[in-house]
Structure 1
Amino acid sequence: MFPLFGDERRRQINLGGASSAASYDSILREAKERRLEREDQRRRQDSAVRIQAWWRGMRESARVRQVMRQAFAEDVTGINGLRCLVLIGRDQDVLGTWSTTILLGGEDSLFRLATGPDHASWSVLIRQASFLLLHSISLAPQSQYATAHLQVLNALLSPSPRTKKLGPQGSDVTIDIMRYLLNRNLYSYLATAIARIDIEAKTSPSLPPLISLVTLPLISSNPSSDMYITSLEQIFIHILTIPLLPNRLPLTSLTTFSGRLPISAIHTLPSSLPATLVSCPIEAKVHLIANLLAFTPPRYPKLPAQPLAAYLQLLAELMNSLPINALDPPEPRSSSAQQSVAGPWIDDSDSDSDSESHPQVAVVTSFEPKPILPQLDKRTRHRLQSLPSPSHINSILTATHRYTTSQPALFAFLMALCTVWPSRKDRVLGAAVAYSSGGLVRELYRGYIRSSVLGRDDRPGAIMDPANASLWPPLLFLTDLYTQALLTMGDDEFFSSMNSAVAPSKTTSAARNPLSLDDLTTFSRKLLNIAFVLYWREDQAGVMEGGVPGLPNLKWEGVREKVTKCLQAIHARDSRKPFTPPDHWLITSQIDVSSFIEAAVLEEQRLAQPVGTRPLSKRQISYLSPRLGVLHNIPFSIPFEVRVSIFRHFVANDMMNQGYDRFSRMGRNRVSVRRGRIAEDGFDKLADADLKAPIEISFIDQFGAEEAGIDGGGVFKEFLTSLCKEVFDRDRGLWLANKKNELYPNPHSYAKEAHSLNWYRFIGRVLGKALYEGILVDVAFAGFFLAKWLGKQSFLDDLASLDPDLYNGLIFLKHYSGNPEDLSLTFTVDQEEFGVTKSTELIPNGSNIPVTKENRLQYITLVSHYRLSRQIKAQSEAFFEGLSQMIDSKWIRMFNQQELQILLGGVDNPIDLEDLRKHTNYGGLYDDEEETISAFWSVVNSFNHDQRRALLRFVTSCSRPPLLGFKELLPNFSIRDAGADENRLPTASTCVNLLKLPRYKSTRILREKLLQAIHSGAGFDLS
């Protein structure tokens, strides 16, 4: 539309009122700005008024101070001067003038006003003046006036001057001043003053009067008074937590403080003191422990029962509140590889610890940040080293032995020490074991454990009850203590009865087990019940992180580890020589076996790892799988047959996961080996082969021709048994045998060469293949070497199977009643190779460290460890490397040494002929009713045990029956007709467990021919 009147614009009228709105906003904004401006001006005015008032006040205060200084100067020692002193306050010059003037006037000047008409005012003012002096000293303990201040305070609080000048009322005056200062943190100021004096400035004139002030409240008040107890409490909180307190003091002050420190009154302190000290910073608690170690040990012999128990309990609570290793934190940029005599007895490289983390498994093990350990002065470290020393432990044991009421505190102390200082645990426990020849173990069990509800069959829930907190320290300490005792206890000592009369020789003391076998039966059952509850709990996160009642520094996982270790050690003795009743170790009444097997197999499948990854630790397995946790830590609680069945399921599942079928001819590795060179050809051709795959063997005879036949599994079995016979031949130099013909790796340096280690790896793989296929091999290994298969450490009791002479020598040393230093032993071992004797140090500088009464248990442990572990470390590791390629270490950990030997070679039990006959197959003209077969079983039934074993070896190549009976023998035991020629001897094809038996018509001839064949070692028959 076009406009009617050209370009004429119409007036724009805003009907919405926008223009008025904009005007209204601007008015509001202006009003707000003016208001803020007025408020800012008012604040400025108020600030100016306050500044002016402050300035006027300061000017007036300065004027008044100046007036008071003049008044003070005119009457320094009078009541007005004292008033001015208090009003002026913290003026160092005024305080210094007053102290100096008072000292020049002597005691008369100090106490003159206390008996005059102004005595009431003086009593009030002198308290305030004393506090001003105390505050001044804390700020500048080495100032020009500090000594004068200290002397005045000492005169006011000392009994002698006050009594001399004031008579009987002087005590009230002093008590009044002392209470006033105590209420105003007397000891906090004194501690600050002492700490501000350089540690090397022992000649400082302030130190003697400072230390005198620390102890004056103790000698000026009644020991039963509140003031005395409060003063002693404050000394513990403030003075004894000063770093390196003994090193700061001159000898006279040190003697004064030590003599006046009433450790014998520690039991009178408030029950809240430990909680107060526990809440202190970590360093303060560490220094308190170090300082107590400087002043208290000389008093142990004379301490009564109550203060001794209170002292040990205090130390226990302090240590329980510290982070692990706080008493021995690692030094920055220091190497932990070297160990001293005070270090662990066994190096970590050979430890059976299972606490390492594995990155490929996401298992949460801790929700708390790692505490920062304090950096300690070397002098503090040195003082703390005495805490776990054998001499200190012995002195405590001797002191507490006088009082049965002190023993609970003793157990709590030792338990806390072992927990907070794990690297000294063996030393502490070793000293405790050696004390009174194991008497402490016996007292612990009979006094505290036997009647405890923890671990009882009818009270499984008692272990989690907070009401039983006091029962844990003695139980766990006994567990650690007895585990330590077993390290150096021979089987002869273990199975000795406490009631038996053991006549000691002139040079040795009687060797007895501190616990009877009946005690051990009850004790081990308690431990088993505790361990099972902790492994079986569904809430494994609670076990990992949950704290034990009464032991804040210990988690339930730590309890489980301690209990398990002791259980395994006791069970190992019972395995060698049973002393417990049947089914003692089983918990099958608490589980359903069939569902347990199914669940364990499913859990293992869930935890299956890719080849080449690092194996799961026991700790991780326990967290992820309760059933596998039981199988790998307390396997003896599940029947052996059940575990063998689970093992077979594990192998079958693994074979299926690998895609292999032992009965299929697809995917087989075909290998040819020469009859006379089985070991060498097997090593060359199978070194890189996947032994989990089925292997088809073809033998090459002496003429170079391949033997006829197809390997359906039997030929491989023949190859495997022949291979084992060759590689374990001791003439090859890789293996040695003990007196029982049990094998272990040769410790000779030749066996550590690269080529020999490759052979150990190969042998490990071969034995792993035998276990994988369920083929029994007639090889027996020494128990200590089998223990290494299970990741366990070997100790003194295992040494008897290796070197009986050395074992007897160490037992002699252990119980030698004379001075061991007379034997001229040092921490070294000698070994001879090629006619040259080489000496090896067991610890750094061991050749210069004599074996003494205190360290002989350490020496025994180190020698045993060297012979059983260190000498064959490389060989064993190579062997296990090969074994682990075939068998998961988790599977092996389900068995102990004896059971593992059975798994390898069968049951060393009498042969069950009924079971054998039931699972025998027949061929040719034979059946179970045939005349020759009936005669055969009649003859075999008349055989003795050795003859039956010889027959089984003749047919199957192994003299022991299968683990779960002859139904497990693959292929089954078989007898085939071998013709009617009665002059012919029976032969066998061990590869297929086949006996070829001619049709003998005479029972007598059958017996003669059969015995002749099985004892003549008739060879493998191909016909």
Structure 2
Amino acid sequence: MEIPLFGDGPGTRKRQINLGGTTTATTHASILQDAKNRRQQRQEEKRRQESATKIQSCWRSTQEARRVREQLRQRFVEDITSLDALRCLVLLGQDGDALLRWSLATLQLGSDRLFQVSMNPSWAILLYRLSLNLLVYISRESLSPNAEAHVQVLAILLTLPPPVQQQQHVSRFRQSIFRYLIPRGYYHHLASSISNFPSSSSSPSPTLRTMVDFLTAPFASLTNTDTTFKNALEHLLCYPLSIPLLPNRLLSSNALAPLSSHLPLIHLSDVNTDSLLGHLPSLEARIHLLANLCTFLPVSRISSLASQSNATVNAYVRLLTAIFNSLPPNALDAKRDDSSNAALAVVDDDSSDSDSDYSVHVMVVDSFQPKVKLPTLDPRTLSRVQTLRSPSYINAILASMQRYQAGHRSLYSWGLALCRVWPNQTGEILGVFVVHGGGGLVRELYRGYVRASSIGNDRGMGTLSDPSQEPAWPPFLFLVELYTQALLTMGDDEFFSVNATGGPRNPLSLDELITFSKKLMNVAFTLYWREGQTDSHGPGPAGMSTVKWEVVREKVTKCLQAIHSRDSRKPFTPSDHWLVTSQLEMAPFVEAAIVEERQLSQPTTARTLSKRQLASIAPRIGILNNIPFAVPFAVRVSIFRSFIVNNMTNSGRQFMERHSGSKIIIRRDQISQDGFDKLQNVDLKAPISITFIDRFGQEEAGIDGGGVFKEFLTSLCKEVFDSNRGLWLATKNNELYPNPHSYAIESHSLDWYRFIGRILGKAIYEGILVDVAFAGFFLAKWLKKQSFLDDLASLDPELYQGLIFLKNYTGNPEDLSLNFTVASEEFGVTISKALVLGGNDIPVTKENRLQYIYLVSNYRLNKQIKLQSDAFFEGLSEMIDPKWLRMFNQQELQILLGGVNSPIDLDDLRAHAKYGGLYDDQEPTIQMFWKVLKSFDQDQLRKLLRFVTSCSRPPLLGFKELVPNFAIRDAGSDQNRLPTASTCVNLLKLPRYTSERTLRQKLLQAINSNAGFDLS
């Protein structure tokens, strides 16, 4: 076989030669790349030369410093105890070997020698600086054996009694040395030294015992008029007394009692609390200071301290108040969850868990409010701090301050601070004040401070915000808290027996209550009606930066409601005392709202409502939810129902009711699937007739007069909102939100969300209550609002904590290796999603981290469930106009869905109850039934309501709105039979019991077991 020559065979490629002298590989791009490479080489060479120069310079300077230090050491060792050696030692600074040699040599010469040389000014100045060097060394090496010699030298200089002939000189020397050391971190270094000793050691340490003497040494040399004395006391509180578990560290060395007895707490009135807190930036340090203070100032010492100076106890109370107010709520609660770090205090919280608050959220990307993570505290620290709220401690302070009139304002601020920092123990704390002061404290607050103040005298916000009112706010708010607490344990007899002689009585007369409640009403109405003129997220009343206006509003409302409840049972106020209808002009407001809705429902009509007019609805919401006795409660809800009635009229509902509506056949075991299949294209605003098919394929008897459809709707909602079906997930509070997984955005799943929205809209449209709760961030979508970082905690606490850490991270965020992507897990697979185009290649930096936090929050709370929420809201909007929903906030929407979470009004229920069979309102069994219900508590009544109607909450406008009405029908005379219910028609089937005891027993058995549902 002939082998072709290289390059000449078939399939070979001839070499192309460029006769121009350059190869074809030399392109424009390669030329640029070559130039770039040469430029990088030059830059690299330059960088290497500069680095070499720096290294050489650093090496030379290091060598020179080493040479100089070596010379100083040589001069030092020539005569260790000489003045020249002392100069060298000071210049050497933290040279451990040299310091140790000097301390040992000095101790061998004795204390007299050191006292003697300190008379020389040259020696004295050097001893100042040397003492500071020794303190710095000890702060790092206090547990080292070498530290003992240094501590002994410092003891000679600072605490050891000098010879009699040298006392005057040594006294002046020590004053000078303390004036030098204290501004240069004297107590800071001592605190670092003491902190090195373990908190659970059983072996005593002489070094520690001596260092504890250093803590109080300045106060033995300086006078209390000396500025350094005051600074020393402040620094003592800031540093040593904020050491964690300080008493435990001192206990083994028998240093606790000497320190406690020598602490100059009698001079606490000289401490500037603002400056003190400025030196204690961390929450943990402030809490440890509280724990140590209550150890060194036990109950027994408070009274003795008061006998020496009432002003000192007043100063102590002011100090406690300042520290309390600097802590977030629940910081001192022993029940908080430290293990999971879930105990978070919101410095500025826009959200509200109360249905009575209506908040408008404004999102600014670069203004996330910081969250405060509470420190993990040792149980011993928490146990000590709890002493500050104990009845014995509160009583000791109250008794000490009882005769000190000038300190009463501090006392009231302290009481408010206690309630703020221990919100879960507010009742217990206020109870101590109530018991200790009786009615006298309430009377003193009202007659001595509140009655004469102008707070609440008019409805102007200017009076509430007036800086001149600063002294009046603490007594006013404390009276509100205290009287609210007093009313909890005050019966009506006591409340109205203000003139009784002997026994308990109302501390305020009825006339005083009328005036006081009017003040409360004016404050509450102003804060609700003119909320736009107050910054509810900024500072509150003058001088009370830790109390927001919304907190003031909540406290005032609570007290106002408690007084009104007494007046509603036995009126003592004028007939128009509570009404503010003249301010609200209710009739024009209701009429205007209905007329505007009619205009807006017509597409050809121009929208005449301005943004200001629309925004004016918000204050009314607050009033109606929080002080409903000021106006008829039904106003806003009746407007909503009027909108629906208008819509029914416009859609021809009345015509459709006279003719046959849609007839739908539903299988009992396939309610959700049949409903989905057969109601997709049906006009749900029209009447719907439901026929059930049982499991045997037989049509159930009966005509749907509304009850069967209600049963279908209730059963359907139970199925479609079941989180096990995959469309919904539940938060820790069992509140539902759409599943964010990818299968939830498939077309079939979106059709289900759209269908569920239509069904829920039908329930709202028909006034049928549904027992389902939604997450707040999902309800916000109904109102066309987005959710951001503050809502993320309820959805993903770990991610929320991570974003908070990133926002407050003091290092370089690039060290965290984050980029503009977000990871999510589906079916065990982690998927990375770019937040912006090219997000994989964009690192998170200090400059763009707020944007990253915003995008991550927006993705998790909004984007991930956007398609699901849009589909759901699309279906809901077919039934309920979005404008109608925007009259309510998230909490009110939940009430609209499931009814009002208010006590069940038995009189209202009875007034609208219907009877069937042998029953009527006067029948003996019915009389016993209502008598038994009066003995039920609210929990039992809710169980009964759920048993009969499938929903435990009453309708918004009372039981007249329950569709169909609550009904009772006889179920025979068998005394052993349990009551049953047909929830589809809200019917209770009650046997004709002859005994009240039997009726109560059987009824409770039925509602507690939820047994006895009857389809007949």
Q: What's the TM-score once normalised by structure 2's chain length?
A: 0.60
Q: Structure 1's 481 and 96: CA in aligned 2 closer, same or farther, altered over 3 A? A: same
Contact 2:524 2:557 in 1 (8 A): yes
Offset of 1:550 from its aligned partner? 2.3
Amino acid across the alignment from 1:391: S
C-alpha separation in 1, matches of 2:535 and 2:496: 38
- Contact (CA 8 Å) 1:163, 1:170: kept in 2 or not? no
Q: What amino acid maps onto 1:758 in structure 2?
A: F
Report the equivalent of 2:172.
172
Determine the structure 1 residue equivalent to 2:71: 64
Provide the C-alpha distance between the structure 2 equivalents of 1:259 and 1:603, rounded to a whole number of angstroms. 76
Q: Tell me: CA distance 1:576–1:43, structure 2 relative to 1, closer, same or farther (3 Å).
A: closer
Structure 1 residues 660-691: Cα deviation after superposition (integer angstroms, max 9, x where no partner)? 9689645679999xxxxxxx999986862789
Query: Are 1:312 and 2:317 an aligned pair?
Result: yes
Match of 1:219 in 2: 220
Judged with a 3 Å threshold, the aligned counterparts in structure 2 of structure 1 residues 482 and 51 are, in CA distance, closer, same or farther, namely: closer
- How far the C-alpha of 1:82 sits from its partner, in A, is 2.5
Matched, 1:688 2:688: no
Residues 321-470 of structure 1: pairs in structure 2 closer than 5 A: 321-328=326-333, 330-333=336-339, 354=354, 367-457=368-458, 460-470=461-471
Deviation (angstroms), 1:192: 0.8
Task: State the alpha-carbon separation in 2 of the partners of residues 650 and 31 from structure 1.
Answer: 76
Shift of 1:384: 1.5
2:934 paired residue number: 743
Alpha-carbon distance in structure 1 between the residues aligned to 2:398 and 2:598: 51
Letter in 2 for 1:652: S
Change (3 A) 1:725 1:573: farther
Alpha-carbon contact 2:912-2:965 (below 8 Å) kept: no
User: Which residue does 2:297 correspond to in 1?
Assistant: 296
Please, which of 639, 642, 650 is the counterpart of residue 652 of structure 1? Answer: 642
In structure 2, the residue matched to 1:867 is none
Cα displacement (A) at 1:272: 4.2
From the superposition, tell whether residues 485 and 235 of structure 1 become closer, same or farther in structure 2 (CA, over 3 Å): same
Post-superposition Cα deviations, 1:411-450, rounded to whole Å, max 9, x if no partner, equal: 1111112112211111111111122323211111111111
Is the 2:357–2:626 Cα contact (8 Å) retained in structure 1? no
CA distance in 2, matches of 1:108, 1:759: 96
- What SS class does the counterpart of residue 435 from structure 2 fall into? helix
- How far apart in 2 are the matches of 1:368 and 1:655? 43
1:721-780 superposed Cα distances (whole Å, 9 cap, x missing partner): 435995988976997656xx983547999x999x9952264897899785238999999x
Aligned to 1:125: 126
The structure with more radius of gyration: 1
1:578 maps to which of 545, 550, 571 = 571
Q: Quote how far apart the aligned CAs of 1:93 are.
A: 2.0
* Corresponding residue SS for 2:110: helix
Contact 2:912 2:960 in 1 (8 A): no
Letter in 1 for 2:376: Q
Q: What is the match of residue 484 of structure 2?
A: 483
Question: In 2, distance between residues paired with 1:873 and 1:274?
Answer: 62
User: 1:379 corresponds to which letter in structure 2?
Assistant: R
What secondary structure, in the 3-state scheme, does the structure 2 residue paired with 1:722 have?
strand
**Partner in structure 2 of residue 635 of structure 1:** 628
Matched, 1:53 2:60: yes
* Amino acid aligned to 1:533: T
Residues 86 and 125 of structure 1 are in contact (CA less than 8 Å); yes or no, is this contact kept in structure 2?
Answer: yes
Deviations 1:180-200 (A, max 9, x none): 111211011011111122222
Q: Give the equivalent residue in structure 2 for 1:758.
A: 947
Q: Residues 727, 333 of structure 1: CA spacing in aligned structure 2 closer, same or farther, 3 A cutoff?
A: farther
Pairwise CA RMSD of aligned residues? 5.1
Write the letter of the residue equivalent to 1:629: G
Tell me the CA shift for residue 362 of structure 1.
Answer: 7.4
Which residue matches 1:287?
288
Question: Does the CA-based 8 Å contact 1:241-1:284 persist in structure 2?
Answer: yes
Alignment of 1:941-952 (within 5 A): none
Pairwise CA distance, 1:647: 5.8
Deviation at 1:407, TM superposition (A): 1.2
Count of residues in correspondence between the two structures: 692
Which one-letter code corresponds to 2:64 in the other structure? G
Q: 1:65 to 1:644 in 2, by over 3 A?
A: closer
Partner Cα separation in structure 2 for residue 647 and residue 45 of structure 1:
80
> The residue matched to 2:547 in structure 1 has which SS?
strand
User: Does the Cα contact within 8 Å between 1:444 and 1:474 map onto a contact in 2?
Assistant: yes
State the Cα deviation string for residues 323-343 of structure 1 (Å, max 9, x = none). 221222723457999xxxxxx
Matched position secondary structure for 1:371 = strand
What is the CA–CA distance in structure 1 between the aligned matches of 2:622 and 2:451, rounded to whole Å?
A: 27
Cα distance between partner residues in 2 of 1:129 and 1:694: 84
Whole-angstrom distance in 1 between the partners of 2:922 and 2:1008: 17
Which amino acid is the alignment partner of residue 743 of structure 1? K
Secondary structure at the residue paired with 2:546? strand
Q: Which residue of 2 aligns with 1:997?
A: none
2:960 alignment counterpart: 771
- Residue of 516, 522, 528 corresponding to 1:535: 528
Q: Take 1:367 and 1:727, find their aligned partners in 2: how far apart are those partners?
A: 62
1:153 match: 154
Residue 229 (structure 1) aligned with residue 230 (structure 2): yes
2:86 maps to 82
Deviation at 1:37, TM superposition (A): 11
User: In structure 2, the residue corresponding to 1:425 is in which secondary structure?
Assistant: helix
* Residues 928-964 of structure 1 deviation map (CA, whole Å, 9 limit, x = unaligned): xxxxxxxxxxxxxxxxxxxxxxxxxxxxxxxxxxxxx
Instruction: Output the CA distance in 2 between the equivalents of 1:385 and 1:622.
Output: 46
Aligned to 1:98: 102
Deviation at 1:244, TM superposition (A): 1.4
The two structures have a TM-score, normalised by structure 1, of: 0.59
CA distance 1:389–1:694, shift in 2 (3 Å)? closer
Q: What secondary structure, in the 3-state scheme, does the structure 2 residue paired with 1:625 have?
A: helix
SS at structure 2 position matched to 1:324? coil
Is the 2:318–2:410 Cα contact (8 Å) retained in structure 1? yes
Task: Note if 1:254 corresponds to 2:256.
Answer: yes
Q: Give the unaligned 5+ runs of structure 2.
A: 1-19, 21-31, 344-351, 602-613, 662-686, 692-702, 714-762, 769-909, 969-995, 1012-1016
1:690-711 Cα shifts (integer Å, max 9, x gaps): 898699xxxxxxxxxxxxxxxx
Which deviates further from its counterpart, 306-315 or 407-416? Answer: 306-315
Quote the Cα distance in structure 2 between the aligned partners of 1:502 and 1:368.
Answer: 55
Q: What is the CA distance between 1:60 and its match in structure 2?
A: 2.2
Asked whether the equivalents of residues 211 and 257 of structure 1 are also in contact (C-alpha less than 8 Å), the reply is yes
| Conserved 8 A contact 1:603-1:625 | no
Question: Does the C-alpha gap of structure 1 residues 605 and 187 become closer, same or farther in structure 2, counting only changes over 3 Å?
Answer: farther
Q: Which amino acid aligns with 2:318?
A: Q
What residue ranges of structure 1 are gaps of 5+ in the alignment? 1-11, 13-24, 338-351, 504-509, 609-620, 673-679, 696-716, 780-831, 838-870, 880-1023
Question: Which whole-Å CA distance do the structure 2 matches of 1:599 and 1:747 have between them?
Answer: 38
Alpha carbons of structure 1 residues 437 and 876: separation in structure 2 relative to 1, 3 Å: farther
Change beyond 3 A, Cα 1:772–1:100: same
Relative to structure 1, the CA distance from residue 458 to residue 721 in structure 2 (aligned partners, 3 Å threshold; closer, same or farther) is closer
| 1:597 Cα deviation after fit | 2.8
| Residue deviations 1:262-288 (CA, integer Å, cap 9, x gap) | 2221111236424525x6111111111
| 8 Å Cα contact 2:913-2:965 kept in structure 1 | no
Amino acid at match of 1:181: L
State the AA in 2 paired with 1:688.
E
SS class of match (2:545): strand
CA distance, structure 1, for counterparts of residue 598 and residue 285 of structure 2: 51
Q: Distance between the aligned counterparts of 1:452 and 1:657, measured in 2?
A: 52
Rounded to whole Å, the distance in 2 between the matches of 1:607 and 1:293 is 65
Question: Does the 8 Å contact 2:453/2:472 carry over to 1?
Answer: yes
How far is 1:468 from its partner?
A: 2.2
Separation (CA, whole Å) in 2 of partners of 1:637 and 1:66: 86
CA contact (8 A) 2:456 2:523 kept: yes
Q: 1:669·1:694 contact (CA, 8 Å) conserved in 2? A: no
Residue identity in the other structure for 1:99? S
